[in-house]
Amino acid sequence: MNGIGEFQTILLVEDNPDDEELTLLAFKNNHIANSIIVVHDGAEALDFLFRRKAYANRDVRSTPRLVLLDLKLPKLSGLDVLIELRNNEMTRFLPVVVLTTSNQDEDIINSYKYGANSFIRKPVEFSKFNEAIKSLGLYWLVLNEVPLSTKTALAKG
């Protein structure tokens, strides 16, 4: 694992505390040591990413390498967040994995339409969920390459 460094953060957008805890547990269980920042609704997610309001003074180095986005969120929905991200030059190429309980075709189609990089349905079974988080971490944090410009853009933002 890469360990802690610049742009190694994961942003988890999740309003359900159980899901939040389980996701964090699964990351820990799979020895994914990246720091995980949790926000609980769509508006907060955008504030964090664009360093607005409460997050105006956050360290640019905490800009995430990966966003795990639930769809059903208070205030702004996951899809709305996705649209905002893709419309902004800074976050245009930021990897976003939709991690949700829904498996409705409509949600899957819309997620890809608005630029999600991946769509994962949270499996109910513990072992499968564990497995999913493990694969996810390995793929998006280790194997996947992001253009340098994204990192720079995020840093400047």
Q: Given candidates 27, 114, 129, 140, which one binds another protein under the rule CB under 8 A?
A: 129
Residue 31 contacts another protein per CB under 8 A: no
Cα 86 to Cα 69: distance, rounded to the nearest angstrom: 14
Residue 16 contacts another protein per CB under 8 A: yes
State the Cα angle at 136 between 157 and 138, rounded to 5°: 90
- Dihedral (CA of 112, 114, 117, 122) sign: negative
Residue 118 contacts another protein per CB under 8 A: no
Cα 28 to Cα 90: distance, rounded to the nearest angstrom: 29
Show contacts with another protein in window 41-80 (CB under 8 A).
Answer: 72
Residue 127 contacts another protein per CB under 8 A: yes
Q: Which residues bind another protein (CB under 8 A)?
A: 16, 18-19, 22, 25-26, 29, 72, 100-104, 122-127, 129-130
